[in-house]
Chain A
Amino acid sequence: MEPKTPHIIREFDEAFNALGKTVSMMAAQCLLNLERSIAGLLTRDIDLCRAVIADDNDVDDAELKVDAAGLEILVRFHPVATDLRKVISSMKVAANLERISDHAVNIAKRAKKMLGKMELPETQLVEPVYKMAYDLMKDALVAYTDQNAALGASLRDRDREIDRAHKRVIATFSERMEEGGDITEAYLHLIFVVRSLERVGDLAVNIGEDAVFLDRAEDIRYSKSRASDIAGEEEEESA
């Protein structure tokens, strides 16, 4: 995020770097929250679940800080070109990160509720969906930090794999629920957990689109064909 050539106004670079650092710290906290929420679910660790719920406040604070810093840069320095796109995309990425952290909290709350119930062996089916969502989120953040449009645009196709996995796992959980009994509620919790992971995938795609905007000044949000074209450019370059 640090600009290559120093700005004529030193305070601009300071404000800009502070904005970048806040987004990076927020991203690290979100990844950690997601990681701990799933670890809390899979290992039935209530402390991890509580930590995720408590630390979400830090993410909320960071989002407010990013928005305030972004607005201040817009008002004081009137950035243009890449600088302007960095400010706008930082604010959009922060909003997506905050929602990802909310999903981590949802997962942690569901995991906490499941602690009082019998352990379900199918809980492990959540893990592959989580890994896909986590990897997608990490790559979205790499695409954003490295201003890598091709990587950012490639996330949409990978998100479809998460959608498919999400549907398969939900079908399994739904079947178990139909069997009835005391464990119905626990399966319902798992369905919501997987749904949250599916949403994390969608939000990672949003961050990938922000990375494309930052790198190329292109808005590909509603253009599947353009996303495929940009994603394909990376493959062509590496071939």
Chain B
Amino acid sequence: MTRDDFIAVENFSFFYGEKQALHDIDMAIPERRVTALIGPSGCGKSTLLRNMNRMNDLIEGVRHRGDIRLNGHSLYDPKVEVISLRKRVGMVFQKYNPFAKTVYENVVFSLRVAGRNRKRELDEVVERSLRSAALWDEVKDRLHDSAFGLSGGQQQRLCIARAIANQPEILLMDEPCAALDPTATLKIESLIRELKEQFTIVIVTHNMEQATRCSDRTAFLYMGRLIEYGDTKQVFENPREEETEAYISGRFS
């Protein structure tokens, strides 16, 4: 049984100083599904995504109201340690950012930080993560070469392998294909569809076709408000709100 409100965003507002970036967002993100956040630049989709692993905590002067629960437990519970939270919530960014290390060391980086250095375990994690990221066959003979020698698409899949090495429950992706060519983009999209068998995925994308191809649920945000949230098919075939229709149809001023 999967949970329909694996990530429960409850009446959540977020402020950068005086500026309110999110207004009373309520949404239940289902477990082991892909949920896309779409909307024009500055609508708050990345802010919402980054709140799901409390990355915004690093910014001075921010505050929130409301709550976000992961599998029923508040992210903002004082007992929650941010480091352990981030083990549960992996993140992939717009620009692929492998470390200046080998392919192998990129994948096992978080394990080594946690003091896990047993070679057999690390080997297993590397193979499992690279296979899950659909990269194993391409790099299995280059594990000890620099990650920078890989193509852009391969580097992004390596970042995904790194993000899932710790077997998080959730994978957040902030425009993961924005810096990739169409072929590499399709590979990542295919990978996203495969990864949802294991992880709950939330993806921010400006690419409408990508949202339709990859996601099961789509949320449209505008000016910090959740305008519409529903099954991707419904949102793109028959949106309930005029603003959603205008945005996805390209009639948005």
Indicate whether B250 reaches chain A with its CB closer than 8 angstroms: yes
In-complex Cβ contact of B251 among A6, A85, A216, A217 (8 A): A6
Q: Are A8 and B250 in contact (CB under 8 A)?
A: yes
C-alpha gap A4/B251 in the complex (Å): 9
Q: Are B237 and A9 in contact (CB under 8 A)?
A: no
Q: Write the nearest CB–CB distance from A1 to chain B, whole angstroms.
A: 14
Residues of B within 8 A of A77 (CB): 250
Indicate whether A80 reaches chain B with its CB closer than 8 angstroms: yes
Which of A4, A5, A78 has the most chain B CB atoms closer than 10 A to its own CB? Answer: A5
* Interfacial residues of chain B within 151-208, with CB under 8 A of chain A in the complex: 208
Indicate whether A3 reaches chain B with its CB closer than 8 angstroms: yes
Indicate whether B55 reaches chain A with its CB closer than 8 angstroms: no
Q: Write the nearest CB–CB distance from A11 to chain B, whole angstroms.
A: 11
* Interfacial residues of chain A within 1-45, with CB under 8 A of chain B in the complex: 3-9, 12
C-alpha gap A6/B250 in the complex (Å): 9
C-alpha gap A85/B251 in the complex (Å): 16
Residue of B nearest to A217 (CB): B238
Bits for B225-253, please: 1 = Cβ < 8 Å to A, else 0: 00000000000111100000110111111
Indicate whether B20 reaches chain A with its CB closer than 8 angstroms: no
Q: Write the nearest CB–CB distance from A82 to chain B, whole angstroms.
A: 6
Residues of B within 8 A of A81 (CB): 236-239, 245, 248-249
Q: Are B209 and A83 in contact (CB under 8 A)?
A: no
Residues of B within 8 A of A3 (CB): 251
Q: Are B246 and A217 in contact (CB under 8 A)?
A: no
Q: Are B237 and A217 in contact (CB under 8 A)?
A: yes
Residues of B within 8 A of A217 (CB): 237-238
Bits for A79-101, please: 1 = Cβ < 8 Å to B, else 0: 11111110000000000000000
Q: Are B248 and A5 in contact (CB under 8 A)?
A: no
Indicate whether B47 reaches chain A with its CB closer than 8 angstroms: no
The count of chain B contact residues (Cβ–Cβ below 8 Å) is 15
Residues of B within 8 A of A82 (CB): 245, 249
Residue of B nearest to A84 (CB): B237
Indicate whether B212 reaches chain A with its CB closer than 8 angstroms: yes
Residues of A within 8 A of B208 (CB): 78, 80
* Interfacial residues of chain A within 119-160, with CB under 8 A of chain B in the complex: none
C-alpha gap A188/B178 in the complex (Å): 68
Which of B245, B248, B251 has the most chain A CB atoms closer than 10 A to its own CB? Answer: B251
Residues of A within 8 A of B252 (CB): 8
Q: Are B249 and A83 in contact (CB under 8 A)?
A: yes
Residues of A within 8 A of B248 (CB): 80-81
Q: Are A80 and B251 in contact (CB under 8 A)?
A: no
Residues of B within 8 A of A12 (CB): 250
Residue of A nearest to B238 (CB): A217
Q: Are A5 and B251 in contact (CB under 8 A)?
A: yes
Residue of B nearest to A218 (CB): B238
Residues of A within 8 A of B236 (CB): 80-81
Q: Are B246 and A80 in contact (CB under 8 A)?
A: no
Residues of A within 8 A of B239 (CB): 81
User: Which 4 A-B residue pairs are closest in the complex by CB-CB distance?
Assistant: A217-B238, A5-B251, A8-B250, A80-B236
Ordered by A's residue number, 22 sampled pairs between the chains whose C-beta atoms are within 8 Å are: A3-B251, A4-B251, A5-B246, A5-B251, A5-B253, A6-B251, A7-B249, A7-B250, A7-B251, A8-B251, A12-B250, A78-B208, A79-B249, A80-B208, A80-B236, A80-B237, A81-B239, A81-B245, A81-B249, A82-B249, A85-B237, A216-B238
Other than the known A3-B251, A81-B239, what 13 A-B pairs have Cβ atoms closer than 8 Å?
Answer: A7-B249, A8-B252, A12-B250, A78-B208, A78-B209, A79-B249, A80-B212, A80-B236, A80-B249, A81-B236, A81-B245, A84-B237, A217-B237
